[in-house]
Structure formats: C-alpha cells, structure tokens
Amino acid sequence: MKLNKKNILNLLKQINIDESKTVSDSEFIRSIKIEDTCINVDILTPNPSLQFKNKIQKQVEDLILAEYPEVTINLNFSVPKEKANSPTSNIKNVIAVASGKGGVGKSTISSNLAIGLKKAGYTVGIIDADIYGPSIPLMFDSEQARPKLVDNTTKSLMDPVVSYGIKIMSIGFFTKINEAVVWRGPMATKALNQIINETNWGDLDYLLIDLPPGTSDIHLTLVQTMSITGALIVTTPQPVAIIDARKAIKMFKMKQINVPVIGLVENMSWCLIDDKKHYLFGRDGGKNLSQSEEISLLAELPLDQSIREAGDVGRPAALQETDLGNLFKKLALDVVDAINSRNQILPKTKKVEIKHNRGCN
C-alpha cells in the first residue's frame, strides 16, 4: 500500500474514539503530514487523560507500523480550547493546592483558605481532587449532600454543593462514606474530568483544587484539563515532608508543565505549650525550602487543637473571629497579592499537551 495521507486515514478508521466516532473523523484529525518515511499526526482528543492518549498512541502505531514497518511516527495530542459558554470559562483564577507528602494538612489549608477568600469578598469554589481519600465534604459539614442536575443550554450539568458560601465538588458526594474507592487510574482521571467539566461553576474569582499527595495521574490530568493560574505548596517543617514538597515544586516547574508556584505554606510549624513555642516537627524547614527554591513563604501556621476540631465538626477555623481566624485571613490576602503579582508579569498558563515523539524531525 502506497504511503499517503488517504491510506493513513483509512487505517485510522479502525480506531474508535467512542461508539460512533473514529480517530479519522475530521473533528479529531487536525493534520497528517508525510515527509519521506516520517508521519506527523496531530489529533484533537476529547479525553485529556494520559491513559487515553497512550491507548490511542499504541493503536495508531500498531496499525501504521504493521503496514509500513520502516516509518517513524510522531503523534501530537491537543485538547479543544475552552468555549465561551463552557462551565469553566467564567473562572478567573485556578489555584492547585499540593503537598507531595500526605498528612501535612493540605485539605485543612484548602478549606480555610477558601473561607478566608470568601470573607475577603471573593466568589470561591473548591474541588476535592483526592479521589481515593476525599475529606472536603467532612470539613464543610456536607457529607450527606448530593449535587443536583441542572439543564444548561447544551447539556445537563451538576450544581455544586454550597456550604458557607463556597461552591464544592467532591467524589465524596457520589460514594458511600464507609466504602473505599478502588479504581484504576483511568477511572479516577475520568471522574476528575467530569467534576471539572460537568459542574455548573458560574462566576468564580478563585477555584481551589485540593490535590492528593504525590505526583500522579490526577496531577497530570489537571494540568492537561485546566489552565492553572498557580500552585500553592503545603508542607510541615520536618525533613521527610520537605523532600516531598520539593518534588511537588519540581513537578510544577517542569518545562512541559510550567505552572507558577505562587507560594509555600508551612503547617504545624510550632505548638504553644505553657505560653512557649515548641517545634515538634523541626524548625525552619519551610523557610529553608522557600529560600533554596526562591518561593515566597506565605505563612507559618501553628499545630493547634482547635484547627483540627473545627475541621472535624465541619466548621473551618477561618470562620472564627479569633487569632487563628485572623491567621487564615492574612493567608488569603497574601495569596490574593501573590496571584495579582503573577497575573501582572506572566501570561495565562497553557494547558499541557502531550507529544509522543518516535523519532520524526
């Protein structure tokens, strides 16, 4: 079979995007260019997850190489640009709250930051992206809540749960409290995509993404699905947490991802006992990390029993008119300043596009 665009398209007809459409359809194929024995294929994919792209990549390569074993293939995937009336089109700023290590209080910081921003007069939403261990519903006293469907002009969307004026979406609203979520990566990333793109967010000044620990499929799916304004890194002072926080920072700084890190929050910095500060998890870990990575240390928050108790009863400590409440208010204002500074000097973050280069120039 002669190597030409028509024959490549005929091969691609064998690869299904869904039950009725194939890769060869005009809405998915952006271009096919053939230079000698090099084939460049640009594909517009409706599913930005890495697993889906790897699946399509393997099918494309298997079909083409079976017919043309001497060629090299370069696949370039991109996702559709946001439409003016898309559910996320009226979100001004998206902040990813990440940690690297679990157990450092990332969800606590996310929930209290959301309240702090709301009290400062901003419209705020939060996505609980920890698919396997959602905790935001508990922290907002909304474990029994269920999102309702609302008809959009083009498709049905979910209205987020609203608690304390914060719009919330979490996989926890769709699963039983005492049952584990045992899903493979593709199911988890699909769920995150649905939470992001099938929620009626409306107008938001800030959307916080409470990420799971580590650097996983969820993180990759997020940066492929949304334009992330900036990342906020949460850590504790102890070395084992600093190591993982540094990894999270490096992930966002990767050339392929390139999401600005707007600041660092050191949680559980100290504990007040008999009016004296005790540094239970070490000292200056966040300060040293901020200096070495040239990232602002926005807050050093105490290990305080009332913060934990407030989260457990579903009423974040930032709601309190106390010294603790004022700490979270200051954090919120510092985050606003950091985002404003970022927006003044940097362009909008681009969504990540995965390119599978097999040797074509």
- pLDDT tens readout for residues 108-166: 999 999 999 999 999 999 999 998 889 999 999 999 999 998 865 556 899 999 999 99
22 and 144, same domain (yes or no): no
76 and 127, same domain (yes or no): no
301 pLDDT tier (thresholds 50, 70, 90) = very high
Q: Are 97 and 208 in contact (CB under 8 A)?
A: yes
137 and 193, same domain (yes or no): yes
300 pLDDT tier (thresholds 50, 70, 90) = very high
257 and 146, same domain (yes or no): yes
Burial class of residue 136 in the structure, from the number of CB atoms within 10 Å of its CB (0-12 exposed, 13-18 middle, 19+ buried)? buried
Residue 150 lies in a domain: yes
Name the residue range of residue 70's domain: 5-80
Residue 360 lies in a domain: no
Across the chain, mean pLDDT equals 89
336 and 253, same domain (yes or no): yes
pLDDT at 361: 56
39 and 173, same domain (yes or no): no
177 and 290, same domain (yes or no): yes
Condensed to tens digits (0 to 9), the pLDDT of residues 171-218 reads 999 887 777 888 887 888 888 989 999 999 999 999 999 999 888 888
pLDDT at 234: 97
17 pLDDT tier (thresholds 50, 70, 90) = confident
Residue 358 lies in a domain: no
54 strand-pairing partners: none
76 and 100, same domain (yes or no): no
Residue 308 lies in a domain: yes
Query: How many domains would you assign to the chain?
Result: 2
100 and 66, same domain (yes or no): no
**What is the domain-level CATH number for residue 244?**
3.40.50.300
pLDDT at 356: 54
Percent of the chain with pLDDT over 70: 93
Residue 337 lies in a domain: yes
When pLDDT is averaged across residues 333-341 and rounded to a whole number, the result is 96
96 and 125, same domain (yes or no): yes
pLDDT at 81: 62
Residue 148 lies in a domain: yes
**pTM for this structure?**
0.78
Q: Return the top range by mean pLDDT from 6-15, 331-340, 351-360.
A: 331-340
14 and 61, same domain (yes or no): yes
CB atoms within 10 A of CB 42: 17
Q: Between the CA atoms of 301, 306, 310 and 316, what dihedral angle is there, to the nearest 10 degrees?
A: -30
Residue 86 lies in a domain: no
